[in-house]
Structure 1
Amino acid sequence: MQTAYTLKLAHINDTHSHFEPSRIQFNIEHHNKSFELYSHTGGYARLQYQVKQARLAAQQNQQEFLFLHAGDSFQGTLYFNQFKGAANAHLLSMMTPDAMVLGNHEIDAGNGPVKEFIQATNFPILAGNMDLSREQKGKVAPLCGEPRLYDYDPVNHIAKPLIRSFHDRQLAIVGITLDQMKEIARPDADVHFIDAIATTRNTVQSLKKQGIHHIIVLSHLGLQQDRILAQEVEGISLIVGGHTHTLQGDFRKLGRSNLTYGERVNETPIVHAGLHAETLGLANIEFDASGKVTRLLGNNNFMLDEQFLLQSPQDVDEDDYEQIRSILTDHPGILWDEEDVAIRYAIGSQYRPAIDALEHQILAFVPKTLQHSRLPSKHLPHGSEISPWVSKSMYHEAREVSADIDFALHNAGGVRHSLEQGKISVADIIGRVLPFELPLVRYQIQGCYLIEAIESAINAATNNGVIGTGAGSFPYTYGLKYHYDGRQPIGSRLQQLQILDKLHPANHDIHNQELVWKPIETHHYYVGVSSSYTASGKEGYQALLQSCWQKDIQDINLAAAFMQFARKKEVIDQPLAPQLSYISQHS
């Protein structure tokens, strides 16, 4: 009988269609000099090369091997905008993961794209708390009964586990995704997501009764919820997670974060692997016969260009370059740029030509980088610099269609990246900054509900005394400005909410300091424009569902509005005048 059960694990999460290497910057201090290092990391060809190497090493060392994806392959880049889930299905199938859990972005457009993705892949898709038992018969894209989908078992109240042989035992992989899915995605109305903790607990207990003690939870809950899951549910061997884009590992020497890789909660290790296919988690793990992890050695690994750019205010010589290369070589979280030829060829021949065409369509010029941060911070006390411009573009382009619009309101999570200095192309906008194809919606709402929606969204974004769904709900506006004080009781934190005087001309601009701001009147009615996601009441915006009416704006979506606005303006200037002030609950 074996006493040690070994596993080599490779894992990724939140890859978001980043098929090609991503630009990256490290800040390094060495011999009293400061360096900025610029390189590229990751991408599917580099991932595949390293996964193949890890699989081969496991065979040579008589280890079991698993390659797991913890959800959110959809959205993120022009590749998704152009090819939807088909490119993800093709390239991930070439990489042959052992399992992937459904993330929230897989369900952004309902169940139809999920069905297409499952049918186009060759690996198991796990969603153990996704209840399909009430799907309507005869619907266009039913998921119930898909052979590679491991969903919820409503009879036994458990997740359907993926069972594998594991040395002389069996190992179970249980996929658990967000039970708040209807708050942050758009699943079909007849699909329900069961409590993540209760489902996991029931499943683990069921597996234990069957004599299966080696249990991996493949989770798309986020690090904090994974910690709660580990604390609340006994008997989980290991959690492989995603959703919060958490980079574990000690990267302080590179000017990055320092979070324990494989941190333990209630004796259960938790591993996450960052975002955007930038890093690959690799771990050697030993379990005892009862399923407990007795040893875990590993790290997240950047996969960097062999040649990198090094800059310093104090100049850089050849000796500096070689010393910095030695620091990288000696770092436990650095691999290099070897690529899998087949993946590289598939991207270059089948998908890259369409992207090249979009990168040559120039929209405007940005004289200074406009930073994106979902929440206000010490560095950016008024939050994102680009999100107000997005709201302004929504406002102006929507007013071309309907002049009755008083304000624009958008959530921070709909903007995905900063807008870099220089020429901006169609590819920059729909591939990076605004990758979600979200229609615009006009709506009429009473002032009291507008106040409620904005405070609720901020509370949800910042967890100021409420259980939120993440920082993506933080509101950015145009034609509205507000002051929020999180130290006040819930319901009275929005100290001021003002609207730009609608009597002024349609071409008014907040840069003009002579314009008049008026307090929102609780009983007055106003007309706003938001994305369909925000207007549907997601992530703290439930009060928008109290609108008197909502009407789609035809033939224009979020990204199109910004691109039309940018073409007219030609130059996207410095950050707009602040439209919000924010005080944290803990200030």
Structure 2
Amino acid sequence: MTSNYTLKLAHINDTHSHFDANRLQFTIYEQQQALTLYTHSGGYPRIGYQLSQARLSAKANHQSFLFLHGGDSFQGTLYFNEFKGKANSDLLNRLKPDAMVLGNHEIDAGNGPVLDFLNDINFPLLAGNMDLSQESSHKASRLSGHRNLYEYDNHSQTAKYILKPLQDKQVAVIGITLEQMHEIAGPDPDTHFLDALETTQRTIAKLHSEGVFHIIVLSHLGLEQDKILAASVDGISLIVGGHSHTLQGDFAELGLSHTPYAERVNNTPIVHAGKYAETIGIADVTFDAQGHVTAIDGSNYFMLDQQFILQASEGEVSAEHYLAIRAKLDANPAIFWDGEDTQVQQTILEKYRPKIDALNNQILGFVPKNLIHTRLPSKVLPHGSEIAPWVSRSMFAETKHCGINVDFALHNAGGVRQSLNKGQLSHAEVIGRILPFDLPLVTYQIQGRYLFEMLESAINAATNNGVIGTGAGSFPYTYGLKYFYDGKQSLGYRIIKIEIMRQVAGQTVWIDIDRNQDYIGVSSAYTASGKEGYSPILQSNWLQSVEHLTLPGAFIQFLGRSQPFTEAIEPQVYYTSQHS
């Protein structure tokens, strides 16, 4: 018997079909001068290389090895638009995960794509709180009992789990996903998602009764819900999470966040690995015989280009600057360089890239400066995203161009996926990175009182202010509608004022919304379905699809008719946090 059990863990999450390295920029200070570093990080070939190195290290040190994916492989880039889940399953098979948890975007379009994915993968997909006991036995996309799916076991009322060797013990991996799946995704009506805490608790009790105490929860709940899970349920050794796109680790030197890696709640470490395959988490985990993590030594790691570009806001960048920054990057323990798995790279280049390159060559316009997308307002960006208002404006303008009168446009933050970098903007970038969800637009007539309810409900859900939300993606961005939210006010009174945009004698004026008057809005079909806190929209007098106009289509047409981004959009989001 041994008293210490060691495991080398590798983990990724929310990769969203980002198979290629992502373009990134960092801010690094050198001799009190801010320098902007442009580079690329991550992608599947670089992740594949780091996995091979981690596996070799584990073998040399007689460690068990585990590679886990925290969900949301689907959506996000042109690779998904063009190949749906086929490229995802193919390339993930080459990375050889030990398990992946079902993310909400895997089931955006119902159970059918999940079945296709399950048929293609060579690893288990965990969804321990997905109840398929009421699934129709006659349906074509039947998931129940699939060899690669570890769903809820209705007989034992616990999650199905996998067991992996851990010296003379076993480590169990349980997959738990969002119980609000019907609110934010598109599962079939006969598919249900059960309480995450209760399912986990019962499953741990079952494992303990079978003598298994080393238990990893592979979660797609988001960091805040992972903390609640850890605080509420004893016996979880480690949580490996996803959904909230949280980059843990000290990246202050790169001008990014400093969030503790493996933050502990109720003595349970929680690890997340950012987003879009930009980083990989690698950690050496030490357990005692009772399953407690006694030590965890690791980080998230960027995988950067060997060559990079430096720019200074003032003055020239010298060779000395470049060498000093290179030395800083070399000394940073959370940076790897751009080693690649050649087989993964060759598969991408030969099998999938040619179709993507053709779309990349269609240039739509020029972006004169970087436009940052953030889901929530912050001290740096008090009005929130710089790109989402342009998306709302394009919806407004193109719906009007169709001859449909609208008063405002409203779009949720999660429907915009990326910031816009200065330079040429291609067709591929819009439909692959910025607006990958090909959603129809919907107009609706709604009374003013329900606008107050809808905006507050969506923001409460985005910020978990007095409600259990579904993530920051529900935060609303508007055009033609200016709102003021104070999170410190009582529930139901947090939208202090809403104004509507009007043209009077050629001038733009803002007029207070009348709670009893009807207004016409345009949103995506996703928002118009009432998901993610938008349920008051279902009180509309009517809802009607805009023929032949989708969310990315409106943005592309808008780019073709105008020269956006050369002017500023007047702020239309005024937000005071409950913590301010």
TM-score per shorter chain, which class? over 0.9
The aligned residue for residue 98 of structure 1 is: 98
**Aligned ranges 1:443-458 → 2 under 5 Å:** 443-458=444-459
The aligned residue for residue 308 of structure 2 is: 308
- Distance change (3 Å), C-alpha of 1:165 and 1:487: closer
The aligned residue for residue 219 of structure 2 is: 219
- The match for 1:567 among 547, 551, 560 is 560
The aligned residue for residue 471 of structure 2 is: 470
CA distance in 2, matches of 1:39, 1:101: 30
**Structure 2 counterpart of 1:486, one-letter code:** G
The aligned residue for residue 434 of structure 2 is: 433
- Per-residue displacement from partner, 1:447-488 (whole Å, max 9, x unpaired)? 222221112112222333333222221212223222223333
**Aligned ranges 1:41-440 → 2 under 5 Å:** 41-312=41-312, 313=314, 315-440=316-441
Percentage identity across paired residues of the two chains: 59
- Distance change (3 Å), C-alpha of 1:427 and 1:293: same
CA distance in 1, matches of 2:318, 2:390: 41
The farther-off stretch of 204-213 and 52-61 is 52-61
The farther-off stretch of 492-501 and 172-181 is 492-501
The farther-off stretch of 380-389 and 175-184 is 380-389
- Distance change (3 Å), C-alpha of 1:157 and 1:513: farther
- Per-residue displacement from partner, 1:351-377 (whole Å, max 9, x unpaired)? 111111111112223333333222223
Alignment pair present for 1:2 and 2:2 = yes
Secondary structure at the counterpart of residue 530 of structure 2: coil
**Structure 1 counterpart of 2:547, one-letter code:** Q
The farther-off stretch of 471-480 and 103-112 is 471-480
- Distance change (3 Å), C-alpha of 1:280 and 1:566: same
Secondary structure at the counterpart of residue 403 of structure 1: coil
TM-fit CA distance, 1:31: 4.1
Secondary structure at the counterpart of residue 468 of structure 1: coil
The farther-off stretch of 214-223 and 451-460 is 451-460
The farther-off stretch of 212-221 and 465-474 is 465-474
CA distance in 1, matches of 2:259, 2:373: 23
CA distance in 2, matches of 1:165, 1:371: 44
- Per-residue displacement from partner, 1:475-521 (whole Å, max 9, x unpaired)? 122232222233332222222223334xx6xxx9xxx9724444333
The aligned residue for residue 532 of structure 2 is: 539
TM-fit CA distance, 1:25: 2.1
- Per-residue displacement from partner, 1:149-183 (whole Å, max 9, x unpaired)? 00011222211011223222222110011112122
- Distance change (3 Å), C-alpha of 1:256 and 1:367: closer
- Distance change (3 Å), C-alpha of 1:402 and 1:139: farther
CA distance in 2, matches of 1:113, 1:319: 52
**Structure 2 counterpart of 1:558, one-letter code:** L
TM-fit CA distance, 1:583: 2.5
**Aligned ranges 1:486-497 → 2 under 5 Å:** 486-497=487-498
CA distance in 2, matches of 1:28, 1:518: 45
- Distance change (3 Å), C-alpha of 1:391 and 1:323: closer
CA distance in 2, matches of 1:565, 1:314: 37
Q: Structure 2: which 5+ runs fail to align?
A: none
CA distance in 1, matches of 2:465, 2:143: 37
- Per-residue displacement from partner, 1:70-95 (whole Å, max 9, x unpaired)? 11111111111211111111100111
TM-fit CA distance, 1:314: 5.3
CA contact (8 A) 1:478 1:579 kept: yes
TM-fit CA distance, 1:232: 1.2
CA distance in 2, matches of 1:377, 1:166: 43
- The root-mean-square deviation of aligned C-alpha atoms, in Å, is 1.9
CA contact (8 A) 1:4 1:287 kept: yes
Alignment pair present for 1:527 and 2:520 = yes
CA contact (8 A) 1:249 1:258 kept: yes
CA contact (8 A) 2:399 2:405 kept: no
Secondary structure at the counterpart of residue 225 of structure 1: helix
Secondary structure at the counterpart of residue 37 of structure 1: strand
Secondary structure at the counterpart of residue 199 of structure 1: helix
CA distance in 2, matches of 1:217, 1:194: 16
CA contact (8 A) 1:45 1:339 kept: yes
CA distance in 1, matches of 2:72, 2:91: 14
CA contact (8 A) 1:283 1:299 kept: yes
CA distance in 1, matches of 2:165, 2:419: 46
CA distance in 1, matches of 2:460, 2:277: 31
The aligned residue for residue 483 of structure 1 is: 484
Secondary structure at the counterpart of residue 133 of structure 1: coil
CA distance in 1, matches of 2:241, 2:33: 37
The aligned residue for residue 553 of structure 1 is: 546
- Per-residue displacement from partner, 1:9-37 (whole Å, max 9, x unpaired)? 11111111111111222222344444332
TM-fit CA distance, 1:553: 2.1
How many pairs are equivalent? 579
- Per-residue displacement from partner, 1:121-163 (whole Å, max 9, x unpaired)? 1110001011111112322312111111000112222110112
- Per-residue displacement from partner, 1:241-265 (whole Å, max 9, x unpaired)? 1111111222222222222222222
**Structure 2 counterpart of 1:348, one-letter code:** L
**Structure 2 counterpart of 1:426, one-letter code:** H
CA contact (8 A) 2:41 2:303 kept: yes
TM-score (norm 1): 0.94
TM-fit CA distance, 1:541: 0.6
CA contact (8 A) 1:443 1:528 kept: yes
Secondary structure at the counterpart of residue 116 of structure 2: helix
CA distance in 2, matches of 1:224, 1:204: 21
- Per-residue displacement from partner, 1:254-305 (whole Å, max 9, x unpaired)? 2222222222222211111111111111111221211111221111111111
CA contact (8 A) 1:444 1:550 kept: yes
CA distance in 1, matches of 2:390, 2:182: 28
CA distance in 2, matches of 1:419, 1:320: 27
CA contact (8 A) 2:64 2:165 kept: no
The farther-off stretch of 157-166 and 7-16 is 157-166
Secondary structure at the counterpart of residue 358 of structure 2: helix
CA contact (8 A) 2:14 2:276 kept: yes
TM-score (norm 2): 0.96
**Structure 2 counterpart of 1:326, one-letter code:** A
TM-fit CA distance, 1:238: 1.1
Secondary structure at the counterpart of residue 497 of structure 1: strand
Q: Structure 1: which 5+ runs fail to align?
A: none
Secondary structure at the counterpart of residue 507 of structure 2: coil
**Structure 1 counterpart of 2:438, one-letter code:** E
